[in-house]
Structure 1
Amino acid sequence: MSLGVRFGAAVVASFLFLIPFAAVAVGAETMIYRAPEAPKVAALKETPSLAPIVNAGQLPAIDERLPKVPRVSVSGPNLSVGKHGGELRMLVTRDKDVRLLNVYGYARLIGYNETLEVEPDILESLEVEDSRIFTFKLREGHRWSDGQPFTSEDFRYYWEDVANNEALKPTGPPQVLRVDGELPQVEFLDETTIRYSWSKPNPFLIPALAGARPLDLFVPAHYLKKYHPAYGDQAEIDAAVAAAGARNWAQLHNRLGNMYKATNPDLPTLQPWFNSVRPPSQRFVAERNPYYHRIDASGQQLPYADRFVLSVVGGALVPAKTSAGESDLQSRGLHFSDYTFLKAAEERSGFDVRLWKTVRGSQLALYPNLNVNDPEWRQLNRDARFRRALSLGINRSEINQVIYYGLTLEGNNSVLPDSPLFKEEYRAAWADFDPEKANALLDEIGLTERDSAGIRLMPDGRPIEIIVETAGENTEEVDVLELIADSWKAIGIKLFTKPSQREVLRNRIFAGETIMAMWYGYENGIPTPYTSPEEFVPIHQQSFHWPKWGQHAETNGKAGEAVDMERPERLMALYKDWLYAKSRDEKAAIWQEILEIHAEDVYTIGLVAHVPQPVTVADSLRNVPQEGIYNWDPGAQFGIYRPERFWFDR
């Protein structure tokens, strides 16, 4: 049984999901994180698809490719020792989705397991003293996918030559590495030991390392040095810049060295599969990493599947192609509305449709942009009475019944009943369908004038026509917005929907061009007191209701706008208090005030939660959970269930 500080907990469906740190206490202030004990492996077994090149002397034997202490995946009641072979096929809707190889591959320094416990993965161990000093111990003999050693030099190069190089990172190291503005002291003690130290606790480091998009503290230094003027030949660097059409060496280095995007087939990786196809492409083939650090209990090197294949199709085609059996494992591009259609094709196409639990604060939410450029709209969006009126003007029961067959939880974009922080009033505040009260609030603001169609007029005479911008990736958003548009007419508000590409939408939000956007609700609806409240605080540009405030925080004031409203300023102060709170009770009290402010001020307008996510699984694919949670962070969607353990029984 794992011991240690609990990071989060939730009861989801019939499962008890705990989010503790899998650690052992050593003294009052020191925790050592180690992977659970695994059975002894008698002998290593060569991977069949690699045997020919091993026999030809083109690849070292398995015992020479693995770390001295490999990570052993423990079998359980619902996990079986598998067989090598086959292609794991999946459909995606953009070539940018090739990055899912790094999300679903989910090789992390330290990461969540399937019960949402945090344990070392790439690391052999992690020692944490007083939540301030983090000592990483790498696995001796661990290698990159090209066979080169993975050592502390990869961390040193990243820290000294990338993160703190102004040409490569103009804003400096990632925000999560700053504690009250203080960057860590970083020491490279030997080839396998690295230490990060702060004068104050850093509660964000481990969750960031375990994220779906992880905090990268290392890069393949041996590969990237040849593109860095401090190490490479300048003439060769200039030639490479010209050949790639890059502006300069820094842009080329950043482009070639982006491990998350997986767009450079030449970039070594530690993931179970590496992309072998350069974008743009309609089909990405990821080959197995022959140096992957994990094995199963029988001594077979993971992953089981030889290849992970991502086929790019139009978003509207994903359900049809899935129903035709063109995917072995599918969730993205599928929605609850596709469930009956997919169930009808199960037997014919040889797959099983499973419903996994979603744990967002709201399936979808409206985000009034408090930083919108238009001064009139900025004033309206910043008025809590206006946001409350919009929320009261939404018939959530109708959305639940018409779109989701009455299976969802209605209410605000807030924590779910599975969270120990949950209070019914947080989800219920201003979430009733009450057009009379909504109209009274709008009148109170002074929006009493209407045009001939009954639409209220803004102070400058323009009709209150709210353009809700979306990523336009599914019909669910459109259907929900149509219902909202109908109910908003009763309070004199007209709604228009404007779909655009995801990146275009984000850039418009960041630039202050949007009045309101529809996006997913808060990613983690099941927090505990030890979970960071950052989603509820204006510190991230990706918060679509206050993006410029978030940008200001992320860039240490170099871009964006400083928070200039009293209640959001209070949220910032509470966030700082949470950082330094010592006890669970202190952190819980801070969380409660944050949630109370959000419930009262309605910064985002939630709709319904607990919408089931269809997951289709080929009949021959094993080790995919029958029931699971489907969440980006924590969870990495399929990542915590380790797709390298999925295998074909044919």
Structure 2
Amino acid sequence: MRSALRCGATALAAAALMLGAAVAQTAEPPKVQPKVLRYAFNAGETGFDPAQLSDLYSRIVTGHIFDGLYDYDYLARPYLLRPNVAEGMPQVSEDFRVWTVKLRPGIFFADDAAFKGAKRELVAEDFVYALKRFADPVNKSPNYSNLNDAGILGLDELRQQALKSKKPFDYDRTIEGLRALDRYTLQFRLREPRPRFLFTLAQGDLFGAVAREVIEHYGQDHAMEHPVGTGPFRLTKWRRNSLIVLEKNPGYREQHYDGQPSPDDASAQALLARFKGRRLPMIDRVELSIIEEDQPRWLSFLNGEADLSWLIPAPFAPQAIPNGKLAPNLAKRGIRLERVLNPDRYMYYWNMDDPVVGGYTPEKVALRRAIALGNDVSRQIASVWRGQAVPAQSVVAPSTWGFDPEFKSENGDYDPARARALLDLYGYTDKDGDGWRDMPDGSPLVIQFHSQSDGRSRAFQEMWRRDLTALGIRLEIKIGQWPEQLKAARAGQLQLWQLGYSASTPDAQSGLELLYGPTAGGQNLGRFRHARYDELYERMQALPDGPERMALLREAQRLTTAYMPQKYLVHRVVSDLSQPWLIGYKRPLFSLQFWQYVDIDTSMKK
């Protein structure tokens, strides 16, 4: 009996083992939790066609989809340029007019229906085509002026031919300044010396390679919706002004984490030691929400729904980073702080074609200067920015060439008494006794301030109302959505608008472009035109960095202060917070890329 029981038990055990083995053979392996980076923009995007956009939020996305010839070392500060899809640094003529670049072979675009199932290699002609698209009048590129400043021989002539003939832009016509010498060799020939042309070649978010087949497949009208590049991510979902989803490009080339951080940058050195050699990108997906209001955006981070608080909302800065230090309750949670003086300028501009505030006659200049003198920027910094900004003195941004923290101009002055005296002197007085100032001809003086509906914008509206009321000037506030107001600004339809500009290169020239006459309607939203200023701008373009160029920059700063077409309010102190499971985040200064350089520790997430 005992022997029979033992035999039965043995048989059952053997059967159980066999069943277990069978289950083990058929069971699916445990799924690996994807690494997803989630955070929010505080304003909406416009789309993802590099030739048609200029806003920061869209450019952050395109910077991770398209590849420039060069890029910025993620870990180096203040900056270090290095080859991206280029094979080595460019060959440059002694006069900085001829730039020749070799491409790395074996780089492919992300798979797309436009390629009809074939692998599509990146070639030199893709950069030729991409840059020509900026000159195509159909695209109405706000950045054409930026590219045209480089003086690519024949490019503007090709544009003018299309404008005059009203025929489709001739993409097949070869021009002297932009040629593919062979499959992997690209050459630029420029009208004037451009010692800093390399900065243009490193703006992959704008001037990255585009495949002609993609634009022709989807049509020009849908180019904003179908970005296809050779970069580390590809767009997979887009709900306009709501949600943007990107996934890592499965066909992305073999790229590994590396860098040259400064020896005294301990945090960057630690990141290099931790990640060196890891294949990029390290995360699987990026989900970007558009949350314009500060409170819900901040709560999404505190609740762990966002991995990054990209730009701590100013109203919550005193609690999150009192005196610029991470609050103990956040530090206890393992949250990390990244804090830099951003290379930007937050400003407002006047429409120089506007009959009320525009123009160059003494009374118009006096009106703009008086209002600028009446802007209480220190109060703005305390109440709106909550201390997360410093006063600006000119268009030159921190960390860019020519910035001097000791530089001082009237742009930074707050003097309401002098402002009222200027208004009185030039005839802006109360002529009908209603308590408000009128124009010199007796018509009502009303300033139209265009703004948005979010909390920070409402705080600025109150500041504007207080400052102008103190000067006796009526204010009319026009509320709209940021992308729509950007379109109206380009069309010259806004009288006064306030916005921020971050420097896209380490040079001051891109900031000066905001006032360069030929870029009116593009980067020059205010349509400022001044012959001497334009001359200074053009001479600076051709000169190498040095005392002569610096003297021209200082004169340009004096001119902008004198005519006051723009008022530079602050340079923002940017503070970002990252959750403990987001590893490797550093705020880029001039590049917009960081997604491929961060990792997510999924074991730490709830």
Which TM-score applies when normalising by structure 1? 0.68
Aligned to 2:591: 635
- 1:123 aligns with 86
The match for 1:220 is 211
Quote the Cα distance in structure 2 between the aligned partners of 1:512 and 1:166: 18
Structure 2 residue 124 is matched with structure 1 residue 152 = yes
Give the 5 Å matches for 1:509-528: 509-520=489-500, 522-524=501-503
> TM-score, normalized by length of structure 2?
0.72
Query: Alpha carbons of 1:200 and 1:405: their partners in 2 closer, same or farther (altered >3 Å)?
Result: closer
Matches within 5 A, 1:417-432: 421-422=402-403, 427-429=408-410, 431-432=412-413
1:182 aligns with 2:153: yes
Does 2:549 correspond to 1:587? yes
- Residue 571 of structure 1 is matched in structure 2 by 533
Offset at residue 171 of structure 1 (A) = 11
In the alignment, residue 122 of structure 1 is paired with which amino acid? V
Residue matched to 2:486 = 506
Q: 1:303 to 1:177 in 2, by over 3 A?
A: same
Residues 1:211 and 2:203 aligned together? yes
- Does the 8 Å CA contact 2:144/2:522 hold for their aligned counterparts? no
Residue 135 of structure 1: SS of its match in structure 2? strand
> How far, CA to CA, are the matches of 1:496 and 1:212 in structure 2?
40
Tell me which residue corresponds to 2:324: none
Contact 2:445/2:474 (8 A) holds in 1? yes
Question: 1:381 deviation in Å?
Answer: 9.6
Contact between 1:325 and 1:349, CA under 8 Å: does it hold in 2?
no
2:256 counterpart residue number: 295
For 1:619 and 1:409, the matched residues in 2 are separated by 29
Retained in 2: the 8 A contact 1:411–1:428? no
1:164–1:172: 8 Å Cα contact kept in structure 2?
A: no
Following superposition, the deviation at residue 165 of structure 1 comes to 6.6
Higher mean C-alpha displacement, 105-114 vs 486-495: 105-114
Query: What is the DSSP-based 3-state SS (H/G/I as helix, E as strand, rest coil) of the residue aligned with 1:455?
Result: coil
Cα 1:378–1:163 change in 2 (3 A) is: closer
Distance (whole Å) between structure 1 residues aligned to residue 562 and residue 84 of structure 2: 42
Corresponding residue for 1:9?
A: none
Query: Quick check: 2:59–2:206 contact (8 Å CA) kept in 1?
Result: no
Q: Do the aligned residues in 2 keep the contact of 1:85 with 1:648 (CA within 8 Å)?
A: no
Pick from 288, 308, 332 the counterpart of residue 329 of structure 1: 308
CA contact (8 A) 2:347 2:498 kept: yes
1:99–1:214 distance in 2 versus 1, CA, 3 Å: closer
Q: Which residue of 2 aligns with 1:310?
A: 288
3-state DSSP of counterpart to 2:536: helix
1:443, 1:135 → 2: CA distance? Answer: 59
Q: Does 1:614 align with 2:575?
A: yes
Q: CA deviation at 1:206?
A: 2.5
Structure 1 residues 251-305: Cα deviation after superposition (integer angstroms, max 9, x where no partner): x53244x4xx4x22xx532121111125458544322112223123665431010
**1:445 shift after superposition:** 0.9
Q: Percent same amino acid at aligned positions?
A: 20
Hey, which of these two has a bigger chunk of helix by percent? 2
Instruction: Pick closer, same or farther for the CA change 1:505–1:149 going to 2, 3 Å.
Output: same
Structure 1 SS opposite 2:537: helix
Deviations 1:602-643 (A, max 9, x none): 22122333x322312121111113xx46x5xx332xx2xx32
Please give the alpha-carbon distance, in whole angstroms, between the structure 1 residues aligned to 2:509 and 2:39: 35
User: Is the radius of gyration larger for structure 1 or structure 2?
Assistant: 2
What are the Cα deviations for residues 431-459 of structure 1, in whole angstroms up to 9, with x where unaligned?
33322211111111112234444210113
2:348 to 366, 377, 398: 366
Query: Which ranges in structure 1 are unaligned for 5 or more consecutive residues?
Result: 1-82, 228-251, 550-562
Deviation at 1:571, TM superposition (A): 0.5
Residue in 1 that maps onto 2:162: none
Q: CA distance change for structure 1 residues 518 and 347 in 2, over 3 Å: closer, same or farther?
A: closer
Do residues 459 (structure 1) and 440 (structure 2) align? yes
How far apart are the structure 2 equivalents of 1:331 and 1:289? 24
Tell whether 2:107 aligns with 1:142: yes
**Offset, 1:591:** 0.9
**Whole-Å Cα distance in 2 between the matches of residues 498 and 519 of structure 1?**
15
- Contact kept in structure 1, 2:248 and 2:285, CA below 8 Å: yes
Letter in 1 for 2:474: K
Distance 1:278 1:449, change over 3 A: closer
Structure 1 pair 109–527 and aligned structure 2 pair: CA distance change class (3 A)? closer
- Native 8 Å contact 1:465 1:496 kept in 2: yes
> Is 1:85–1:304's contact at 8 Å kept on the other side of the alignment?
no
Q: 1:253 aligns with which of 219, 233, 248?
A: 219
CA distance in 1, matches of 2:556, 2:520: 19
2:317 maps to what in 1? 339
2:17 corresponds in structure 1 to none
Give the superposition deviation at 1:224: 4.6
Cα distance in 2 for partners of 1:136, 1:113 equals 19
Partner SS, residue 607 of structure 1: strand
Which deviates further from its counterpart, 485-494 or 351-360? 351-360
Amino acid at match of 2:478: K
Please tell me whether the aligned partners of residues 351 and 619 of structure 1 are also in contact (alpha carbons under 8 angstroms). Answer: yes
Match of 1:352 in 2: 335
Matching residue of 2:173: none
Flag the 1:515–1:529 CA change in 2: closer, same or farther, 3 A: closer
Amino acid at match of 1:644: Q
* One-letter amino acid of the counterpart of residue 306, structure 2: S
Partner residue of 2:567 out of 591, 605, 608: 605
Q: CA deviation at 1:391?
A: 1.6
Q: CA deviation at 1:358?
A: 3.6
1:198 Cα deviation after fit: 2.7
Counterpart in the other structure of 2:98: 133
Q: Encode CA deviations 1:62-111: one digit per residue, 9 max, x unaligned.
A: xxxxxxxxxxxxxxxxxxxxx99511112245364566332356742112
Query: For 2:369 and 2:143, how far apart are their aligned partners in 1?
Result: 39
Distance 1:382 1:253 in 2: 49
| Corresponding pairs, count | 503
Note if 1:402 corresponds to 2:364.
no
Q: Aligned partners of 2:376 and 2:478: how far apart in 1? A: 21
The 3 A distance-change label for structure 1 pair 450 and 211 is farther
> Kindly tell me: are residues 90 and 443 of structure 1, through their superposed partners in 2, closer, same or farther at Cα, counting changes over 3 Å?
same
Deviates more, 1:530-539 or 1:495-504: 530-539
Q: Is the CA contact 2:536–2:556 (under 8 Å) kept in the aligned structure 1?
A: yes
Give the one of 453, 459, 464 matched to 1:479.
459
Q: How far apart, in 1, do the equivalents of 2:388 and 2:129 lie?
A: 51
AA aligned opposite 1:516: L
The answer to whether the Cα contact below 8 Å between 2:153 and 2:178 also exists between their aligned partners in 1 is no
Structure 2 SS opposite 1:271: coil
Q: Does 1:94 align with 2:44?
A: yes
Secondary structure class of the residue paired with 1:214 = helix
Higher mean C-alpha deviation, range 178-187 or range 506-515: 178-187
Aligned-pair CA distance for 1:593: 1.0
Shift of 1:124: 1.7
Using a 3 Å threshold, how does the CA distance of structure 1 residues 635 and 168 change in structure 2: closer, same or farther? closer
- Encode CA deviations 1:535-592: one digit per residue, 9 max, x unaligned: 343343467875446xxxxxxxxxxxxx4xxxx2110111122233356222112111
Between 1:440-449 and 1:181-190, the stretch displaced more is 181-190
Tell me the distance in 1 between the aligned counterparts of 2:560 and 2:143: 32
Q: 1:375 to 1:600 in 2, by over 3 A?
A: closer
SS of structure 1 residue aligned to 2:471: coil
In structure 2, relative to structure 1, the CA distance for the partners of 1:197 and 1:203 (3 Å cut) is same
Residue correspondence of structure 1 range 542-553 to structure 2 within 5 A: 547-548=526-527
Inter-partner Cα distance in structure 2 for 1:515 and 1:128: 44
CA contact (8 A) 1:413 1:604 kept: no
Name the CA distance, whole Å, in 2 between partners of 1:570 and 1:507: 29
How far apart, CA to CA, are the structure 2 residues paired with 1:643 and 1:571? 39
Say if 1:419 and 1:525, in contact at 8 Å, map to a contact too. Answer: no
